[in-house]
Amino acid sequence: MNYVTDSARRAKKNSREKYIYGDKLIYVKDQLPYGFDLDYVIETVEKLIPRTLFDNIDTIYIGKFKDFENGDLPFNAKYKDSALYVTSEQDSENDMMDDIVHEVAHAAEEAYEDQLYSDFAMESEFKAKRKTLYHLLDQNGFDPPEGAFDNVKYDKYFDHYLYNVVGYPKLSTLTTGLFYSPYAATSLREYFAIGFENYFLRDKNYLRKISPVLYAKINDLLEHSREENEDYGY
């Protein structure tokens, strides 16, 4: 009887199909690294993120995807058409949680766009930081493209400039105390997503210190989500 019970547990643990919040499918298309504890990832995300922030997500697919191989998608993950696509090539459970929480941020943006952006407060904070970054890069001889710093939307050429011309090691030094991480400078939406990711997974007090408006927006969003959870009986 113990053997049957243990076998059932192993089968459940190794199943290609799992669920988060009880009803949202996680489908493991390709094998995860040996010993990878997906159940731990699911349980941790459920504890950290209110269920209502997953309302725009129907399914999470885990595997090897051509888009990832072509290098078209950042962070080895993508939110698209009510689904999250996450690479199965993970270094650790924490790396997968980074990927999932970051893309949940983009799903939440879609659901709560007016609440996040309609007053332009977060955009103003982001633009002020971009202006400071422009002067820092100019002072350090990186010849920053001035017009690009005024555009809050994602621009692959600006991304290329930050990643390949400046380089993230140098950018990390220049943005200390300005942006939570170099990629947060890429666009307004990535500014929010990086902040969201670090609010839930890292040092939210540091986020509050360097990005008070962004911190407040995530706090408000979290409070609103908790109220919705209570209304729906979650």
Looking at the 3D structure of the chain, how many domains does it have?
2
Q: Which of 65, 80, 111 is the last residue of a domain?
A: 111
pLDDT, tens digit (0-9, with 9 covering 90-100), for 185-199? 999 999 999 999 999
| Same domain as 81, residue 56 | yes
CB distance 178 to 207 below 8 Å? no
Q: What is the mean pLDDT of residues 151-172?
A: 93
pLDDT at 1 over 50: no
CA distance 76 to 151: 25
Q: What is the mean pLDDT of residues 47-51?
A: 93
Give the pLDDT band of residue 70 (cuts 50, 70, 90): low
| Same domain as 142, residue 96 | no
Residue 76 pLDDT = 85
Residue 103 pLDDT = 95
| Same domain as 145, residue 91 | no
Of the two residues 225 and 36, the one the predictor is more confident about is 36
Residue 66 pLDDT = 80
Judged on CB neighbours under 10 Å (0-12, 13-18, 19+), 81 is exposed
Give the pLDDT band of residue 129 (cuts 50, 70, 90): very high
Residues belonging to the chain: 234
| Same domain as 194, residue 158 | yes
| Same domain as 69, residue 83 | yes
| Same domain as 170, residue 155 | yes
Q: Which of 91, 111, 131 is the last residue of a domain?
A: 111
Q: What is the mean pLDDT of residues 67-94?
A: 82
| Same domain as 195, residue 210 | yes
| Same domain as 103, residue 185 | no
Residue 4 pLDDT = 35
Give the pLDDT band of residue 146 (cuts 50, 70, 90): confident
| Same domain as 129, residue 101 | no
pLDDT at 226 over 80: no
pLDDT at 73 over 50: no
Q: Which of 55, 76, 111 is the last residue of a domain?
A: 111
| Same domain as 226, residue 130 | yes
CA distance 45 to 47: 5
| Same domain as 202, residue 127 | yes
| Same domain as 139, residue 91 | no
Q: Which domain holds residue 92?
A: 2-111
**26 three-class SS:** strand
pTM of the complete model: 0.88
